[in-house]
């Protein structure tokens, strides 16, 4: 692994870890990378709120040992050089374009995609727009977007679980609340996270504008700020999909999970765990095993050469 000659990606080493800087227009995404010298397929890992690419380091190590090439970006708002000030630049339309920039920088024709929390929302949006680029898709915690919207509109349990979204849509106060007293209220979210991981996240959220940018994902995508051109059409899914959900999740109720299946036209595997929202931290062995089985099952050998059809 070394410096990439492409103008859109530069690979560097920081504290014995490999990173890539990938341009998307005026913004630069920081990406953790691993196994780029491997000959295997590429896996892109998308984190959610309030985490960073650090959440994936154990899974990255495991995937690299299995021969995969792995890319985990610090998403828009989390990368210091990709922190727009305008709320409208955090819509899924823009965050999907960040993933596409990674794909184009590494000239990927097909790849595996894995997401958690907001990273899953980006993933559902990406596979809706670019299904032919996918080997497989794995969503941790977050159901199909239309299933979630149905539950959000009609299910009492989901409405109760989603009350925090209205709070996050308020201007200024959420940032003040979560950063108060050395980020005491933000730290409460990370009950199952280790000290080193928490410190890695705090190093990001203490940066100027980082917490506001992370919260802008809620403000941009939920509410009345979006323009019609910002909407993504979430149709039925043909991409081989693995959905893992913890039945103790404080944000996602059972109704939206059950509704997801009706939007799956392609291969679909649902795994329910006795766990909360932070699946990687709570049930790493079970989650990683399911992901690796999914990657192996829907590898390049699942697709006929050149035609993109399933065998």
What's the Cα-to-Cα distance from 137 to each of 124, 167, 191, 266, rounded to whole Å?
8, 31, 28, 11
Q: Is 1 helix (H, G, I), strand (E, B) or coil?
A: coil
* DSSP labels, 153-213: HH-HHHHHHTHHHHHHTSSSHHHHHHHHHHHHHHHGGGTTS-HHHHHHHHHHHTSTTHHHH
Confidence of residue 232 (pLDDT cuts 50, 70, 90): confident
CA torsion through residues 256, 75, 219, 225, sign: negative
Domain boundaries along the sequence of the chain: 9-302
pLDDT at 4 (0 to 100) = 45
Q: Output the average pLDDT for the chain.
A: 93
Query: CA 54, 55, 58, 60: dihedral to nearest 10 degrees?
Result: -70
Query: For the whole prediction, is pTM greater than 0.75?
Result: yes
Q: Which CATH architecture has domain 9-302?
A: 3-Layer(aba) Sandwich (3.40)
Query: Do 110 and 88 meet the contact criterion of CB atoms below 8 Å apart?
Result: no
Per-residue pLDDT for 3 more than 50? no
Percent of the chain with pLDDT over 90: 86
């Amino acid at each position: 692994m070394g410096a990439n000659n492409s103008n859109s990606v530069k690979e560097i080493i920081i504290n014995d870890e490999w990173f890539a800087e990938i341009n998307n227009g005026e913004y630069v995404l920081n990406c953790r990378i691993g196994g780029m010298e491997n000959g295997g397929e590429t896996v892109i890992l998308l984190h959610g709120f309030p985490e960073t690419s650090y959440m994936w380091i154990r899974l990255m190590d495991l995937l690299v040992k299995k021969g995969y090439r792995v890319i985990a970006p610090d998403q828009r708002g989390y990368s210091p050089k990709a922190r727009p000030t305008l709320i409208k630049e955090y819509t899924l339309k823009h965050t999907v374009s960040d993933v596409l920039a990674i794909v184009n920088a590494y000239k990927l024709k097909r790849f595996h995609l894995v997401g958690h929390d907001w990273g899953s929302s980006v993933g559902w949006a990406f596979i809706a727009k670019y299904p032919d680029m996918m080997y497989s898709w794995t969503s941790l915690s977050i159901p199909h977007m239309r299933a979630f919207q149905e539950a959000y509109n009609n299910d009492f349990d989901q409405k109760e679980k989603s009350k925090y979204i209205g709070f996050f849509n308020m201007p200024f106060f959420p940032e003040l609340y979560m950063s108060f007293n050395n980020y005491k209220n933000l730290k409460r979210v990370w009950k199952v996270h280790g000290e080193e991981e928490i410190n890695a996240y705090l190093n990001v959220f203490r940066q100027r504008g980082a917490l506001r940018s992370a919260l802008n994902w809620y403000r941009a995508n939920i509410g009345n700020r979006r323009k019609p051109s910002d909407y993504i059409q979430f149709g039925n899914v043909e991409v081989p999909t693995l959905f893992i959900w913890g039945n103790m999740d404080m944000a996602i109720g059972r109704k939206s999970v059950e509704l997801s299946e009706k939007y799956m036209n392609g291969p679909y595997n649902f795994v329910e765990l006795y766990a909360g929202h932070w699946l990687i931290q709570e049930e790493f062995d079970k989650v990683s095993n399911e992901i690796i089985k999914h990657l192996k099952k829907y590898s390049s050998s699942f697709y006929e050469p050149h035609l993109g059809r399933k065998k």
